[in-house]
Amino acid sequence: MVGSALVRKLAALPNVEVVQRTSAELDLTRQNQVNDFFQNEKIHQVYLAAARAGGIHANNQYPAEFIYDNLMIEGNVVHAAYKAGVQKLLFLGSSCIYPRMATQPMSESELLSGKLELTNEPYAVAKIAGIKLCESYSRQYGVDFRSVMPTNLYGENDNFHPANGHVIPAMLQRFHDAKVEQLPEVTVWGSGKPMREFLYVDDLADACVHVMNLGVDEYRDAVDERLSHINIGVGVDCSIKELAELIAKTVGYTGGMRFDTSKPDGTPRKLLDVSLIHSLGWRSSISLEEGLRRTYRWFLENHDHIRGAA
Ligand code: GFB
């Protein structure tokens, strides 16, 4: 989802040639393959969006894959890029790097200030390692490896797997099916009370290019002295219940909903403090209502061959 949004954004820019590989062509968890790729291609900038990612259930169910795959991808790409002489790299993390009970909204300085949310701790630890990789290579080798921490993302090409995806694609699919089958109610996981912030993926791609293109001094003056990371979000959140109501409206479903409290809520709230990225001249432009409309339209157009990764 993120990779294809970045390609859409970058391919539209003048004087940019996008070099991309599918995961079938290049397995980023394999060090030799990654080294060969960087040695054989002339790459100037790297957007490291590739990751093993998923919703609350997948994180809980496959902790080994979430920590191993992400550590391998980050370690292999950052090191091979450095060895091949790449000067600029942008690593994409996640807002789940912050402690479960972090002060809201969460500023960049909340990193490593407390205990992580248990449902995604392995993934979060891998993403924190990615930030530290970029900081360390920049400090020791003088390269310009930056990091951004996006809030929860959604949009076209999302993973619509009913169990393993994130809340928006899962609920769009479920409310759509309920409408088609004229079901009296839809099940929503958890209590409906957790608060989440959602960023449309094309907004994220725009922010990534913005951060990559900030001047060296502008970026270093903005982040802390360890050359750390920048939050990317919209600055407002809503409850899962409010989200479900909005999704029902987007889909045109008029039945009821039931909350399944046997399913985990996860972090109570994770709203990003986006004052730093605002001060650097970027803010999101696609509202949740508009983003949901676009995602649902895409879902309807691609219903037959939609991605539903296990
Ligand atoms: O999107 P989601 O899986 O991500 O869940 P997290 C968000 C909230 O929506 C949770 C509730 O409180 C879920 O219980 N929810 C309600 C649902 N219905 C559903 C549903 O049908 N499917 C899903 N998936 N959730 C992930 C992390 O956490 O967020 C990752 O596990 C990553 O590491 C990602 O950081 C951005 O925000 O809870």
Confidence of residue 126 (pLDDT cuts 50, 70, 90): very high
Catalytic site residue from 123, 137, 154, 296: 123
Residues 292-308: tens digit of each pLDDT: 999 999 999 998 777 66
In whole angstroms, what is the distance from residue 159 CA to residue 226 CA?
Answer: 34
Would you say 139 and 228 are in contact if contact means Cβ atoms under 8 Å apart? no
In whole angstroms, what is the distance from residue 179 CA to residue 266 CA?
Answer: 28
Residues 84-106: tens digit of each pLDDT: 999 999 999 999 999 999 999 99
Residues 157-174: tens digit of each pLDDT: 999 998 999 999 999 999
Non-local (6+) Cβ contacts of 66 within 8 A are 52, 54, 58, 59, 120, 122, 123, 126
Pseudo-torsion of CA 195, 267, 269, 296, nearest 10°? -30
Pseudo-torsion of CA 125, 57, 162, 269, nearest 10°? -80
The whole-chain average pLDDT of the chain stands at: 96
User: What local confidence, expressed as pLDDT, does residue 310 receive?
Assistant: 47
Residues 246-290: tens digit of each pLDDT: 999 999 999 999 999 999 999 999 999 999 999 999 999 999 999
Confirm or reject: Cβ of 90 under 6 Å from ligand 1: no
In whole angstroms, what is the distance from residue 189 CA to residue 170 CA?
Answer: 10
Confirm or reject: Cβ of 171 under 6 Å from ligand 1: yes
Confirm or reject: Cβ of 240 under 6 Å from ligand 1: yes
In whole angstroms, what is the distance from residue 291 CA to residue 55 CA?
Answer: 19
Which tokens hold the place of 21? Answer: 């590989």
Q: What is the CA radius of gyration of the chain?
A: 19
In whole angstroms, what is the distance from residue 2 CA to residue 287 CA?
Answer: 18
Phi, psi of 259 (to 5 degrees): -95, 125
Task: Report the separation in Å between the CA atom of 42 and the middle of ligand 1, taken as the mean of its atom positions.
Answer: 38
123 part of the active site:
yes
